[in-house]
Amino acid sequence: MGHRRAERVASLILAEISAMLLREVKDPRVATANVTAVRMSDDLQVATVYFVAFPPQDRDRTLAGLESARPYIRGQISRRLRLRRAPDLRFTYDSTADEAQRVESLLRETRKDG
């Protein structure tokens, strides 16, 4: 049962953070950030927030902006979702798209060679 609740809370947190980044957080470092996923621990104490930055070279700058906005985001999540205790937010760059692009380019190279 705890696992399903963690998934539901993660989904709600993803929607709330996405909306906050779009409309409320005024830090220019996060203007091009997109949240791709949220993974909750089963005890709902930690939320790992995966994001991408455009362009990808700005990921360190974007991460710094997200870290700066963390207290605001955490407080808003607690209020909006009416959680007794807001989870600790950990922001992590989602490298899935970068890895897929790298694999695709390697496949293209092998097709040219073969």
In the predicted structure, residue 27 carries a pLDDT above the cut 90: yes
pLDDT at 73 (0 to 100): 97
Extract the tokens encoding 99: 């890895």
Phi, psi for residue 25 in degrees, rounded to 5: -75, 120
Distance CA 31, CA 67 (A): 14
pLDDT at 2 (0 to 100): 65
pLDDT at 109 (0 to 100): 83
Q: Could you report how far apart the first and last alpha carbons of the chain are, in Å?
A: 51
pLDDT band at 108 (very low <50, low <70, confident <90, very high): confident
Extract the tokens encoding 31: 């203007």
pLDDT in tens, 28-77: 999 999 999 999 999 999 999 999 998 888 999 999 999 999 999 999 99
Confidence (pTM): 0.86
pLDDT in tens, 74-96: 999 999 999 989 999 999 999 88
Topology classification of domain 2-113: GMP Synthetase; Chain A, domain 3 (3.30.300)
pLDDT at 97 (0 to 100): 76
Task: Sketch the domain layout of the chain as residue ranges.
Answer: 2-113
In the predicted structure, residue 114 carries a pLDDT above the cut 70: no
